[in-house]
């Protein structure tokens, strides 16, 4: 499907170049602007088609009841993996905090680690889920 579009765009460019030869350099900026406007319209059309297709695919996934990437519902494995990674990263972060700020640096570091893990754990339940569902705009696929 892209080959005919490329040939069409090539014809447009050839026409602009021939028009420049016929009209002279004083019309060059107008010809370039006109050609770039056609390229922009073509790009906008392509992006619109891709976005509509992507949205339709997402709506089909939601309609079938599958988990969407932004649903906020994560598995036990994701939570466990996040906890393990944060504990592994806690070791060098704790050392950096102690070296730079002493005991208060250690407390700040661990407060941040616990805070990040608490927010991650609360994503699928409680207040954060209620806020997310309240702010979500209903779609035509919602019951």
Compute the distance between CA of residue 92 and CA of residue 83 in angstroms, rounded to an integer: 15
More confident residue, 49 or 80: 49
Q: Residue 28's pLDDT is what? A: 83
The DSSP symbol for 29 reads: H
Domain contains 29:
no
Q: Which residues contact 132 (CB under 8 A, 6 or more apart)?
A: 72
Domain contains 35:
no
Domain contains 2:
no
More confident residue, 50 or 70: 50
Domain contains 26:
no
Number of domains in the chain: 1
Q: What does the pLDDT look like over 46-61, one tens digit per residue?
A: 898 999 999 998 888 8
Cα–Cα distance list, 83 to 21, 98, 107, 117, 119 (Å): 67, 22, 18, 7, 12
Q: Is pLDDT at 12 greater than 60 in this prediction?
A: yes
Domain contains 120:
yes
**Parent domain of 116:** 102-132
Cα dihedral sign, 58-59-65-71: positive
Q: Is pLDDT at 21 greater than 90 in this prediction?
A: no
Mean pLDDT value across the chain: 80
Q: Which residues contact 79 (CB under 8 A, 6 or more apart)?
A: 120, 121
Domain contains 91:
no
Domain contains 25:
no
Q: With beta carbons less than 8 A apart as the criterion, state whether 131 and 80 touch.
A: no
Q: Is pLDDT at 65 greater than 90 in this prediction?
A: no
Reported pTM: 0.40
Domain contains 51:
no
Q: Residue 69's pLDDT is what? A: 52
């Amino acid at each position: 499907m892209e080959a005919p579009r490329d040939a069409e765009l090539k014809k447009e460019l050839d026409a602009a170049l021939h028009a420049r030869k016929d009209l002279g350099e004083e019309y060059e900026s107008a010809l370039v602007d006109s050609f770039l406007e056609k390229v922009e319209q073509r790009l906008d059309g392509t992006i619109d088609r891709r976005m509509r297709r992507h949205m339709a695919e997402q709506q089909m996934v939601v309609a079938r009841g599958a988990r969407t990437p932004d649903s906020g519902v994560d598995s036990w494995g994701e939570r466990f993996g996040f906890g393990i990674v944060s504990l592994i990263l806690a070791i060098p972060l704790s050392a950096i905090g102690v070296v730079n700020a002493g005991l208060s640096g250690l407390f700040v570091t661990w407060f941040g680690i616990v805070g990040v893990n608490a927010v991650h754990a609360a994503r699928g339940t409680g207040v954060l889920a209620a806020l997310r569902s309240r702010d979500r705009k209903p779609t035509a696929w919602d019951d």
